[in-house]
Amino acid sequence: MDSARPHERPTAFDRMLTPVHRWIWSDTDRRVQKLLRFSETETDGGRDILRAAEVTSDPLLRRLYLEHAIDEFRHGVLFRHRAAELLKVSAGRSSPGFHGEWLAPGGHGLDDLQVDSESDIDMLAFLHLSEKAAASRFTVYRDVMQHDPPTRAVFEEILHDENFHMNYTLTQLARVEPKRHKRHLWRARLSRLWRAYLRLATGLAGILGSMLLTIQYFVLLPLFAWLAKRAARREPSGWTIVAAETSQSLDRQY
């Protein structure tokens, strides 16, 4: 797809994180893992948009969604091929460590979308914001990729499409809902913020849970182990003689 409009500039937040992105993408193994993850995200996004093309009753939107879905599938293939090329170079090595997934996320965040229950208006508002976020992040990823021109070229090519997606969704939103499209954009923005908050809260809860369990393991467990050992030392060892008057008959159950 082609875009006649200017490209999206990265948000201040994405620009601020440029040094972090540069570090994340500097490692070849980490780059392979991230490209593979991006490939999955793009393909999943393409599947959702294909479903949106099936359920919309607007012929123009159906055609645009189909082209959009084809683009996203192609992005998935581009990322996967580039990851495979890099994998050949770094064959045999693996990096199971930190990949900065939450710091350098993939494409669109379309996993938040319930395609079957969304109206065309909500779908377009959500898609516009998702594509805008993807274009902003991919601009930064492209800019920090000077050390890897082929990967940079992949981002450059995909960015071109993401800008088109961002622009056509806004144009179509204004066509479908000329008067209140800004209100729908704000509603979609708030919904994305709420989901981002939930994701952050879930992540923080996981970190806090791990910290509490670690503290329990190193602080509470030794204390109970010491108390158990002390109690064990007080116990007489071997058989203990029981006084005759306290012993019960073994002939009955109670």
Nearer of residues 37 and 165 to Fe ion, judged by Cβ: 165
- Report the amino acid identity of residue 116: D
184 binds Fe ion (CB under 5 A): no
Selected binder of Fe ion within 31, 37, 137, 165 (CB under 5 A): 165
List the interface residues with Fe ion, window 114-143 (CB under 5 A): 131
- Which positions ≥6 away from 188 have C-beta within 8 Å? 122, 125, 126, 128, 129
Site string for Fe ion, 79-118 (x = CB under 5 A): ----------------------------------------
**Assigned token pair, 213:** 């369990």
The crossing angle, in degrees rounded to 10, of helices 59-89 and 28-55 is 160
109 backbone φψ class: left, alpha, beta (φ>0; ψ -120 to 50): left
Nearer of residues 82 and 165 to Fe ion, judged by Cβ: 165
List the interface residues with Fe ion, window 6-45 (CB under 5 A): 42
Selected binder of Fe ion within 31, 75, 128, 142 (CB under 5 A): 75
Extended strands (E) in the chain: none
Least gap, CB of 216 to Fe ion (angstroms): 44
**Helix or strand holding residue 46 (H, E):** helix 28-55
Residues contributing to the site for Fe ion (CB under 5 A): 42, 72, 75, 131, 162, 165
